[in-house]
Amino acid sequence: MALREMEMITNVVTSRSMLLKQLMDPRRDIDHECGYPDTSTVTAQEYQDLYDRHGVATRVVEVLPLEMWKVQPDVYEDEDMDVSTPFEEAWEDLGRNLLVEEDEENLYVGEGGNPIWEYFRRIDVLSGIGHFGVMLLGFGDGKPLSEPVQGTKNQLLFVRCFPESLVDISAWENDQSSPRYGKPKQYLIRFHDLEAGQASIGMPASTMMVHWTRVIHVANTLTSSEHLAVPEMQPVLNNLLDLKKLYGGSAEMYWRGAFPGISIETHPQLGSDVSIETDDVKNAMENYMHGLQRYFALTGITAKSLAPQVVDPSPQIRVQIEAICIQKAIPLRVFIGSERGELASSQDAGAWNDRLMARMKNYATPRLICPFIARMVKYGVLPRPEQFHVNWPDLNQMTDQEKSTVSLQKTEAMAKYVGGGVDQLIEPQNYLTKVLDFTDDEAEEIIEATAGYVEEKEEEEAEQMEEQIAQMEAQGLDQFGKP
């Protein structure tokens, strides 16, 4: 039944694709002329191969996950930092004990190094290669992977992450009365990548059925489907293939052009009466090109060097990378890895941080962290909390250097505001809130503090003046210091 449905879907997609091509321009097929494949025919393994062999394709998949997981969220039940609940303690122990071998103990204590986040980062990358990825949860319930998880008090023994190229969805939920209608029920997972070559020699080629309760299904850029996303490389596949041509073509062009060709010519006046020993000329050329011989011994013919034609591919490569950045809404400097110091535009950095934070809250938390914790709670790996929070760091928080720069600029602006008499034009409350971007409460606090400080200074000056007058009167002097 599933195979028949897949054939029907494929036929519909193919028909729409052909119709679109005819409507666009019936006289030419640009994709065919440029060598671009039909999107519906690109397999998960082909996306995997492109990810493994093409550096820019790897960056397309990894840029968002790697940038986002540079920081780690805090998962807690109670907002009081001095209170540690059983859920919070179990969460810390879950991460600490996940990577240790049997009969070993993890003695590390610290804020970083929690392997849970490393698994999330890994599955975030792998799920973007194809239409989905899976995180296999190894529960210690003693049951085969093909059966549902049993028990309400289990231990998490291991976690494994797999891309689509190593996973097949073998069964779907067809019960329309089930809340899981249309979602996977069984997975066929290949535990060892046979494409790994020498590294896979000796490994058992194990392929096992896995029940959905032991899997966290991860799909990133979802559209109409809830389980099959758009691969990260799909919208920019044409650009990636063009880059592959440019990179390979530039290397081949240099290889051929750096060693110029040689033209063997006879004298024009001799016409066709010249007899050339082709084998001797060929041997001489091969000795010159492949050996250390740096001369020709020629009779009746001459050898001329052909001018190489080497073109700088940088402009064409940059155009393709810019097209990728436009589609992915990624600043160019972030994509190519030069987002450093003064090179980074503050506007680009702010917009990029906003996108990362949106991905943290709209994807990582509801699609990765919450399903994982819910599965851990359901099967007793973690105790049930009353509620839990996931708090991500603010990426737009200023560094110490940025804070000092802003403070200096605001101080200089205030000095000019007071010294230039601008307070006669704009009252302090409006200046602080509308110009310096303080809140109303902060502005009122500054004004009240300033008024109090001025009042104290005036009182101190009045007291000092009275003391000076009293001393002068005691000495019999007037206010001008004369007897």
Please write the tens of the pLDDT for every residue from 355-383: 999 999 999 999 999 999 999 999 999 99
CA-closest candidate to residue 446, choices 459, 429, 471? 429
Please tell me the distance from the alpha carbon of residue 156 to that of residue 144, in angstroms, as a whole number.
15
Beta-bridge partner residues of 259: none
> Judging by DSSP bridges, how do beta strands 133-139 and 156-163 pair with one another?
antiparallel
What does the block give as tokens for 58? 């790897």
CA-closest candidate to residue 154, choices 214, 84, 77? 214
- For CA atoms 265, 267, 272, 273, the dihedral sign is negative
The larger pLDDT score, comparing residue 149 to residue 276, is at 149
Counting Cα atoms < 13 Å in the Cβ hemisphere of 386 gives: 4
pLDDT tens, residue by residue, 11-55: 555 566 665 555 566 667 778 888 888 888 899 999 999 999 999
Distances (CA, A) of 350 to 282, 330, 360, 400, 413: 64, 12, 15, 17, 24
What does the block give as tokens for 66? 């790697």
Question: For residue 428, is pLDDT > 90?
Answer: no
Q: Where are the alpha helices (DSSP H) in 367-439?
A: 370-378, 400-419, 428-430
Q: Which residues of 51-78 are buried (b: 16+ CB within 10 A; e: fewer)?
A: beebebbbbbbbbbbebbbeebbebbbb
pLDDT band, residue 341 (cuts 50/70/90): very low
Please tell me the distance from the alpha carbon of residue 58 to that of residue 41, in angstroms, as a whole number.
21
Asked if 331 contacts 346 with a C-beta cutoff of 8 angstroms, the reply is no
pLDDT tens, residue by residue, 142-187: 999 999 999 888 999 899 999 999 999 999 999 999 999 989 999 9
Q: Per DSSP, which regions of 92-247 are E strands? A: 133-139, 156-163, 167-172, 184-190, 207-211, 215-218
What does the block give as tokens for 338? 């030069």
Q: For position 342, what pLDDT does the model report?
A: 45
Mean pLDDT of all residues belonging to the chain: 81
